[in-house]
Amino acid sequence: MAAFTVAIPVYNGERSLAEALRSIAVQNLDGVEVLVSDNASTDGTAAILAEWQDRLPLRVIRRTQTLPMRDHFNALLDDVTSEAYMLLCHDDYLADPAALDLAQAALRDNPDVASVYCDLVYVDDQRRTLAHRRFSRSGRFDPDATGRKCLASGRNLFGIPIAIRRSALGETRYGDDFLYAMDIDLSWSLASKGGAFHIDRPLIANRYSNDNMTWKLLGTTLSEYLGLARKHGSAPGAIGRARLAAVCQFVTAQKLAFRYYARARAWLG
């Protein structure tokens, strides 16, 4: 049995899936399984996976019908059997050849840590760097305090997990009430299972494109952050709601501005 799984949920990913797989192929793959869940794609995804079948320790699950995104992610988590895993969206990729080694070392050296995070690099469709997301932390940090800071800032201050211990995950899954904030909800839920660790290197490239689900979900920001407050803390009063609404509106404006910046970069070449 593999010790670590890179789990990739994909739907119609022919434009970027091969890039994600290439970023894994340059890693140290001792004890690593690549688990891809094809969510009944209708494009060339299956052909790409067939090309990579003998080039990676690859296990492919083909869904017979397309599941909603959250259900697909949860179904994929049910199929992970290794001691630890990371979930890599098919349009993202590993930004450092040492990413998996560093992630597994962080878990090995910190046996009470439930999840590991890292700095990020934002890229466009052509892999051009748009920005670096640095979290200004290194080593162990308090995940519960980070969750509360997410509420105060209207932003995901956890980042993207590059490793999660499956024993800590247990039966925890992406919650039914969240899509925009589903990553925050899962990371915060893991806070009760153990500590968190941060690697201050950009190990994951997060792609910004017009296809990102983020743009479709921006209108749900306030309702989902209120849901986070109710689930993990306490429901805010009238003043707290007004403050959170202002914060979410400001962050939404920032995200839209970044989207226009990315579009301008693409147009200018």
**82: domain CATH number?**
3.90.550.10
Query: How high is the pLDDT of residue 233?
Result: 79
Q: Average pLDDT across each block of 10 residues of the chain; the chain has 269 residues. List them in order.
A: 96 96 98 98 97 97 97 98 97 98 98 98 91 97 96 95 98 94 96 96 90 74 93 86 91 85 76
| Tens digits of residue pLDDT in 119-139 | 999 999 888 999 999 999 999
DSSP 212-256: -HHHHHGGGHHHHHHHHHHHHS----HHHHHHHHHHHHHHHHHHH
Residue 115 lies in a domain: yes
Residue 266 lies in a domain: no
Residue pointed to by tokens 């590059």: 162
237 bridge partner residues:
none
| Tens digits of residue pLDDT in 26-37 | 999 999 999 999
pTM of the model: 0.94
Residue 261 lies in a domain: no
Domain count of the fold of the chain: 1
Residue 257 lies in a domain: no
Residue 75 lies in a domain: yes
Query: How high is the pLDDT of residue 210?
Result: 66
Domain that holds residue 36: 4-214
| Tens digits of residue pLDDT in 75-101 | 999 999 999 999 999 999 999 999 999
Cβ–Cβ < 8 Å for 209, 91: yes
Cβ–Cβ < 8 Å for 33, 4: yes
Cβ–Cβ < 8 Å for 204, 162: yes
Residue 252 lies in a domain: no
Residue 93 lies in a domain: yes
Query: How high is the pLDDT of residue 237?
Result: 87
Which residues lie closer than 8 Å to 148 by C-beta, 6 or more apart?
233
Tokens of 127: 């892999």
Number of helices and strands in the chain (H, E): 10, 10
- 10/72 Cα distance (integer angstroms): 9
Query: How high is the pLDDT of residue 258?
Result: 82
Residue 249 lies in a domain: no
Tokens of 254: 């920032």
